[in-house]
Each structure stands twice: as structure tokens, then as C-alpha cells.
Structure 1
Amino acid sequence: MDLSNPLMQTAERLSTQAAAAPDDGGLLAAAVAAVRAAGAVMLARFDAQARTPDDLAGVVRAIHANDDASLAVARRLLERARPGAGWVDDELEGGALPDGEWWVFDPVEGNVNHVHGQAEWGISATLVRDNQPVLTAVYEPVADRLYTAVRGSGAAYENGVPMRASKKTELKAAIVTTGQARPGETADTYRRLGASVTAMLNAALVVRMTVPATFQLGQVAAGQIDGFWQYSDVRSGLAAGALLVAEAGGRVTDTRGNPWTLASEDFLASAPGVHREAVQALAQVA
């Protein structure tokens, strides 16, 4: 870790300040500094011409190496900013957490894209308090795009500019999106995912399918996409994205329209005006 780097010096200073005055605004500044510092390291490792090894083992090794490089930068900064908070960095893990505060950190969200030379990857840090996401910072290094939100502030931001969910009022005019949350899901999850895509193809204007989840949820918050659903409880992408969408005025529930929590089995976030129709479309999926 190069502590002479100005970006790292800033991150070190902000994490120390946040620990001294641990309000959520100060913690957000520290989280932003941490994801930017880790993002700079990962951008230096990124090669748009990269072609990964031909076998799964080689892909997995590259993914783990990326995770290790990002964690080496960010973990110490975030733990210094909030001493005593728990730590979760398994990007495929899901479910509710024990009470208290936890950093939910994704070292390289969209890691599989990074190792394949694709630009859709980033770093996210979300502070969860008693199973409620309370602040998040999501950085996309290739685009130099930063999403931020603090719970209850009434706004989410893209590079400092407030975002609002779209004003669409009918699903047939909407762009909606989903994605495979992780490899190795159950056959029933894959069946539901396929059936839901068919249902949305019949109900919406355009259906997209890609990863990672947080990038799509950032676009829901910004009003560029009208809805996102996923049959998964993967925590890191959904916790960050749920907060961004909620603070941008969107609706966040499970696919049946019930309040979403970290313990929910599935997820739906959308513009308010198309939420009811989205729930109805997904109700066709048993």
C-alpha cells in the first residue's frame, strides 16, 4: 500500500476523522474515500484487452486476486472509520445479519466483468445498522461515477447531483432489468428467473439481463431504468442498491410487494408508477 499516494493520504485522513466524530455524514466521506482508493488500485489492474484463462479455475483465481488487492486497501480504512463495526466481504453471501453495525463491502462488484476486460465493475461499501442500510458509496472507476446515499436524507446522488426515480406510469413503456445473482443457484431459481423474463417480455417495453445488480439499481435511482428484480438474497449488491433507489424516491419491496429486508428471498425495485404492474407481472411466476 503506497501511503505516499495523495488519494491514500486523503483516505487515511478521512477515516481517522470519521472515527473521531462518527456521524453518518462523516462516515460517508470515509466510505467514499475508501472505495475511491480501492477503485484506483483496481483500475491499475484493469486491462480492456484482457482474455482470461480458458478454464473456470483460472477465472476463479483471477477473481480472488482482485478481491485480495481491493481488500488490502479498503478494509483497514473502513474499520478505522467505524471501530467495532462487523465486517462482511463475501459478495455472494446473503441473509440477515446479527444486530449492530456491519460494513457490507464488495471488493470488486462485477468482478467477472473486470477479469474479462469489460468496464461494468466497481467497489461498494454499505454500512448496515440493525439490518437497515444507512449509508452507501458505490464507485465505478472506468466511468469515474460515484453513487452515494444516506438513509433518511431524501436524496441519492450521482457524482454529487441528486437522482430521482423515473416518472413512468405504465409498465408497457418501461425498461426493466434483472440478472443472475451468482453461479450455482438452484434449478428452481433458474426456472423462476426464466419464467420472470418471459412474463416481463409480455408486460414491459424492453427487458435487459446483466450484472452487477448495483449498477442496474443505480440506473433505477437515476431514472434511466424503470425497474429491477432478482431472485436472490445476495446482500452486497442489494443493500447498496436498495438504499440508492429508496432515497431517490423509488419503491423497494420483494417481488410480491412486501417490504424488503436483508432476510427477503427476492427483490424488486422500481419507479413508483410502475411498481404495482411489476408485482402483477411477477405474480405469474410460481
Structure 2
Amino acid sequence: MNALNQRHAHACQWAREAGALALDYFRQRDALTIDSKGVQDWVSEADRNVESLIRSRLAETYPEDGILGEEEGWQAGSSNGYWVIDPIDGTTNFLRGLPDWGVVIAYVEEGEVQIGVIYVPMQEQLYQAVRGQGAYCNDQPLHLSQQPIELSSVLIYMGFGRRTALPDYLARIDYLYQCQMDQRRLGSAALCLARTAEGLVDGFFEAQINPWDVLAGLLIVEEAGGWHNYIGQPAATGTMRVLACAAPLQEALTPLLHIGQPR
């Protein structure tokens, strides 16, 4: 097993372990300590402790690698690689008792995402990919169709947060409406991308999203045969404007990237 595949095996193992811990907290969520990071932006002891678990495994196994995590920020390493962690993507769903949340781990080397793992404990689904080796949900390969798609049948997930200007968001909804496409909002960017890769929906767009929410999922979509693009830099200090979809929808959905201005 080469070094990259070894990292991948560890990432899958840690995602499942972290997911089991998160699920324990989910079952006792009424007793959790919860803090606010902003309007409708929550963090709980579950988020912090799940990230700490993953960081401890990384420190034991790959102490030379850097780490970027949602809750604890950036920790520099001495190697050319670093890990990107979202311990619970979909915290609001998690705290409300909704099933749409997951553990997200990506590995970046030489500026390119090499490994993406999204574990959904409530459904026991492990979405994962290694660059150049395909995408999978559990042991089933994911292959997106390359055939043309009628726009009147298209369904995409649209992310929306309070950093996005409401007029820009509404302009995108209007664009989809005029093109006869439909949209939904889920509350977890990682799961939106996983379900895009699985072909359950046709795409995902969000105007301002953090790298830990999307880097793993973008690789999984790409390895499943999909297309993605973004504006911005996937760095600790910046947000990204992200579009991912089935490849035949690239032309129809690209205007979403250019409605409004990055903020």
C-alpha cells in the first residue's frame, strides 16, 4: 500500500470512529453545551470533541502534516501535505435532531486535494475518493451519467448563509426558475456534494462556503465523473464560491457563479 492509500485507509477509519462519537453525542444532544459563533451559527462540545479526536489520531500517525479544522483553526506542519476537517458538517441539523449531518476529512498535498471522505453516521454511508482512483459510497462505485439532461428535470441543492447578499441569492433562484430547474436547501454542504456524486441530485451551489465544508466533496464529485468550479482560495482565511454538478449541466449552471459579486 503506497503512502497516499495508507492515508486514505486511515481517513476512512477515523471518519467512522469520529462518526460513532458524534452519534453518541447526538443521542444525548439535549444535554450538550452549545455556544453561538454568530447569528444562526452554532458550535457544541460535540463539534469540539470530535475534532479533537481526529486531531489526536493525526498527531499520533502523521505528526509532520498540517491540519486545518473548523473549530481549532490552522496548525502548521513540516510536510507538503495537510488535512482539512469538519467534525460535524450540518451542526444545526445535528442539534435539531435531523439526520443530515456528517464527518468530513480531506487531505491536500502540493495544493491539490488527494483524498476526500464524508461519513454519514445516521445512514452508515461512507463516501470516499482518492484522486485518480474513483469515488465510492461504502463499497459501491459512483458513476455520474454523461448523457444530456433536460433542464425541466434538474434538481440542485442551493446553500445559503447570512454572509451571502439576499438579492444575489434570490437572483440565482430566479435564474433557476426561468430555466425550469428546481432547487432544495439541505443544511450540509458536504452531504449535498455526496448526494450529487451519487446522482440523487444534479448539482450543488453556494456563494460563500468554507473549505472544510467542500474540499472532500468536490473531489468525490470529480472522481464520480462530475464537474466543479469555484471562485476564491481554499485557504484558512478565505471562503469559496462553489458549483458542482453532473458534467452535462456545466454550461447551464455556470451562470450561478457570476450572479452578484464575491463578498
Describe the SS at the equivalent of 1:218. helix
2:244 is aligned with 1:266: no
More strand by share: 2
Judged with a 3 Å threshold, the aligned counterparts in structure 2 of structure 1 residues 31 and 56 are, in CA distance, closer, same or farther, namely closer
Task: Read off the aligned partner of 1:113 and give its amino acid letter.
Answer: N
What SS class does the counterpart of residue 232 from structure 1 fall into? strand
Q: TM-score, normalised by structure 1?
A: 0.78
Residue 221 of structure 1, aligned match among 197, 210, 217: 197
Contact 2:51/2:71, CA 8 A, preserved across alignment: no
**Which stretch of structure 1 is more off in the superposition, 43-52 or 211-220?**
43-52
2:64 and 2:34 map into 1 onto residues whose CA distance is: 42
* Worse-superposed segment, 204-213 or 119-128: 204-213
Of 277, 280, 286, 2:252 maps to: 277
1:110, 1:91 → 2: CA distance? 14
Relative to structure 1, the CA distance from residue 48 to residue 215 in structure 2 (aligned partners, 3 Å threshold; closer, same or farther) is farther
Q: 1:66/1:168 Cα in 2 relative to 1: closer, same or farther (>3 Å)? A: farther
Q: Over residues 228-253 of structure 1, what are the superposed CA-to-partner deviations in whole Å (9 max), with x where a residue is unaligned?
A: 11101410121011100110010111
Conserved in 2, the CA contact under 8 Å of 1:170 and 1:274? no
Aligned partners of 2:64 and 2:150: how far apart in 1? 46
SS of the equivalent of 2:104 reads strand
Retained in 1: the 8 A contact 2:65–2:79?
no
Q: Give, in whole Å, the separation in 2 of the partners of 1:281 and 1:124.
A: 25
Decide whether the 8 Å contact of 2:168 with 2:259 is kept in 1. no
Which residue is equivalent to 1:160?
139
Opposite residue 7 of structure 2, the aligned amino acid is L
Contact 1:200 1:282 in 2 (8 A): no
The verdict on how the C-alpha distance between 1:207 and 1:220 changes in structure 2, with shifts beyond 3 A counting, is same
1:127 matched to 2:107? The reply is yes
- Once the two structures are superposed, the pairs formed by residues 111-260 of structure 1 within 5 Å of their partners are 111-153=91-133, 155-166=134-145, 167-181=147-161, 184-185=162-163, 188=165, 190-254=166-230
Q: Which amino acid aligns with 1:273?
A: P
Structure 2 CA distance for partners of 1:60 and 1:45, relative to 1, 3 Å:
farther
Q: Which residue of 2 aligns with 1:3?
A: none
**Change beyond 3 A, Cα 1:209–1:61:** closer
TM-score computed with the length of structure 2 as normaliser: 0.84
SS at the partner of 2:98?
coil
AA at the equivalent of 2:143? R
Compute the displacement of 1:99 (Å). Answer: 8.8
Deviation at 1:279, TM superposition (A): 1.5
Shift of 1:36: 0.7
Deviations 1:171-228 (A, max 9, x none): 22211111125xx415x3x332222122112224321112110101111111111111
Question: Structure 1 residue 283: deviation in Å?
Answer: 4.5
Distance 2:79 2:251 in 1: 32
Cα distance, 1:36–1:200 mapped onto 2, change above 3 Å: same
Structure 1 pair 53/201, CA: closer, same or farther in 2 (3 Å)? farther
- Distance in 2, matches of 1:91 and 1:151, equals 26
Q: Give distance in 1, aligned partners of 2:32 and 2:63.
A: 38
Give the Cα separation in 1 of the matches to 2:9 and 2:33: 38
Contact 1:196 1:282 in 2 (8 A): no
Residues in 1 aligned to 2:42 and 2:160: alpha-carbon distance in whole angstroms: 20
RMSD, aligned CA: 3.3
Structure 1 unaligned spans of 5+: 1-20
Q: Could you report, residue by residue, the CA deviation over 1:119-146 in whole angstroms, capped at 9, with x for unpaired residues?
A: 1111111101122110021111011000
The alpha-carbon distance between structure 1 residues 169 and 99, as it changes in their structure 2 partners (threshold 3 A), is farther
Does the Cα contact within 8 Å between 1:137 and 1:149 map onto a contact in 2? yes
Q: 3-state SS of the aligned residue for 1:126? A: strand
